[in-house]
């Protein structure tokens, strides 16, 4: 028995991961933000793309920094042979930090108690903990609040003097970077600069400052600083529904293409309904196709009757309710498709893109990508020789 879902036959349905598109996106973003460096965020299985192949491709593309949420994700990178810089920023009170400190993984701290744990881990392993202090500048998730920041800096300076930690970076995170005119952006930049001055007053000289996520990197040049944390944009999805990349002069290419073969094609007569609840009824005779992907594979039920898939050179709307393992598309009267023909739900160069599905289903592109489940095989399309 296994705890992991048995994957679908990749010929029947798969998420095709285009490493050439990833390389092109990273190159374009890197040129835009230079001289700032790019951290590719590979948390959540690289936004659903497959963390290990994406990380390897990023390193081949010259990416010095990778970002993950948890130390366990960072440890998986180390187990795969990755020896480069990795930052992890989310861990609990019971997380054993010593192995991660010994492995040279950079870790975040936003409370003195976390610094004490990191210092203890360093002492136990004979290592120096590489630490990024996080300031809460307005997102109000983790990060030290302004009234607590000086105490955090004082504790960090003491631990650094003792040789137990090295404060590598100071960072924060935008709340509304996808809305470049939002006044909170300037407020957070100012709060970040104040945090930097206080750290300096406590004798800290971190070499890396980082504030910008994908949206900030694209739309707010002043936030790029030394390092930008690129997540969704690296995977070819605009963080603001197509608005920011184009304004920055970038043509991002989708890295994931969710595709499947038709497994059935059949007529549907006028007046007949399709799928559970009979939520769609044909007004005229048509032809429908059965696609072997459903909400167990990550297709949102909200796509029912609103999203479309690409079949050849045209779009075919989803008809009726998305089921656990399958959905139905309207191929149109006189359709000539047969079982085995390919359908692309999103990620085709001509569309639909993940942004389209997000808009139509009332969510964000991040969720469309990350919800593609482990039952869907990832098929890696290797980079062309360069």
Q: What per-residue confidence (pLDDT) applies to 1? A: 41
Judgement on whether residues 292 and 338 belong to the same structural domain of the protein: yes
Judgement on whether residues 218 and 260 belong to the same structural domain of the protein: no
Q: What per-residue confidence (pLDDT) applies to 30? A: 99
Q: Is 266 a catalytic residue?
A: no
Average pLDDT value for residue range 130-151: 98
Q: Is 43 a catalytic residue?
A: yes
CATH number (domain holding residue 62): 3.20.20.10
**Average predicted confidence (pLDDT) for the chain:** 96
Asked whether residue 6 is assigned to any structural domain, the reply reads no
Q: What per-residue confidence (pLDDT) applies to 3? A: 57
Last residue of a domain, one of 217, 241, 265: 241
Tens-place pLDDT, residues 56-113: 999 999 999 999 999 999 999 999 999 999 999 999 999 999 999 999 999 999 999 9
Q: What per-residue confidence (pLDDT) applies to 243? A: 86
Q: Judge contact between 96 and 114, C-beta under 8 A.
A: no
Asked whether residue 279 is assigned to any structural domain, the reply reads yes
Q: What per-residue confidence (pLDDT) applies to 4? A: 57
Average pLDDT value for residue range 273-290: 98
Q: Choose the catalytic residue: 43, 91, 134, 366.
A: 43
Last residue of a domain, one of 183, 213, 241: 241
| Confidence class for position 9, pLDDT limits 50, 70, 90 | confident
Tens-place pLDDT, residues 295-348: 999 999 999 999 999 999 999 999 999 999 999 999 999 999 999 999 999 999
Tens-place pLDDT, residues 14-58: 999 999 999 999 999 999 999 999 999 999 999 999 999 999 999
Average pLDDT value for residue range 144-152: 99
Asked whether residue 2 is assigned to any structural domain, the reply reads no
Average pLDDT value for residue range 115-122: 99
Q: Choose the catalytic residue: 192, 276, 295, 366.
A: 276
Asked whether residue 249 is assigned to any structural domain, the reply reads no
Structural domain boundaries, residue 45: 19-241
Asked whether residue 214 is assigned to any structural domain, the reply reads yes
Judgement on whether residues 285 and 327 belong to the same structural domain of the protein: yes
Can you tell me the distance from the alpha carbon of 371 to that of 360, in angstroms, rounded to the nearest whole number? 16
What pTM does this model have?
A: 0.95
314 belongs to an annotated ligand binding site? no
Least Cα distance to 109 among 75, 81, 71 occurs for: 71
Judgement on whether residues 203 and 178 belong to the same structural domain of the protein: yes
141 belongs to an annotated ligand binding site? yes
Judgement on whether residues 226 and 363 belong to the same structural domain of the protein: no
Q: What per-residue confidence (pLDDT) applies to 64? A: 98
Judgement on whether residues 275 and 197 belong to the same structural domain of the protein: no
Asked whether residue 248 is assigned to any structural domain, the reply reads no
């Amino acid at each position: 028995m296994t705890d992991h879902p048995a994957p679908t036959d990749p010929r029947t349905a798969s998420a095709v991961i285009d490493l050439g598109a990833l390389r092109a996106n990273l190159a374009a973003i890197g040129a835009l933000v230079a001289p700032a460096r790019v951290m590719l965020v590979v948390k959540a299985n690289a936004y659903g793309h497959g963390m290990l192949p994406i990380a390897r491709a990023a390193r081949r593309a010259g990416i010095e920094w990778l970002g993950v949420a948890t130390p366990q994700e960072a440890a998986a990178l180390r187990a795969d042979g990755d020896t480069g810089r990795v930052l992890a920023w989310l861990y609990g009170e019971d997380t054993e930090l010593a192995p991660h400190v010994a492995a040279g993984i950079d870790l975040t701290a936003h409370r003195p108690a976390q610094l004490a744990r990191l210092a203890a881990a360093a002492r136990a392993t004979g290592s120096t903990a590489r630490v990024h202090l996080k300031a809460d500048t307005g997102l109000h998730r983790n990060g030290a609040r302004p009234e607590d920041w000086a105490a955090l800096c004082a504790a960090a300076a003491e631990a650094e003097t003792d040789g137990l930690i090295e404060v590598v970076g100071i960072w924060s995170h935008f709340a509304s970077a996808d809305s470049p005119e939002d006044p909170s952006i300037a407020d957070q930049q100012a709060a970040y600069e104040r945090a930097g001055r206080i750290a300096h007053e406590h004798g800290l000289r971190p070499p890396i400052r980082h504030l910008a996520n994908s949206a900030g990197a694209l739309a707010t040049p002043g936030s790029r600083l030394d390092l930008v944390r690129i997540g969704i944009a690296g995977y070819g999805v605009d963080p603001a529904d197509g608005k920011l990349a184009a304004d920055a002069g970038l043509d991002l290419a989708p890295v994931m293409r969710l595709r499947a073969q038709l497994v059935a094609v059949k007529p549907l007569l006028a007046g007949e309904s399709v799928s559970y609840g009979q939520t769609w009824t044909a007004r005229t005779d048509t032809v429908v196709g059965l696609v072997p992907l459903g909400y167990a594979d990550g297709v949102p039920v909200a796509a029912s009757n609103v999203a479309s898939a690409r079949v050849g050179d045209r779009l075919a709307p989803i008809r009726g309710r998305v089921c656990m393992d399958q959905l139905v598309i309207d191929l149109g009267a006189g359709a000539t498709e047969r079982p085995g023909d390919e359908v692309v739900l999103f990620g085709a160069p001509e569309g639909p893109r993940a942004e389209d599905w997000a808009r139509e289903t009332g969510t964000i592109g991040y969720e469309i990508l990350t919800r593609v489940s482990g039952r869907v095989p990832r098929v890696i399309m290797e980079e062309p020789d360069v």
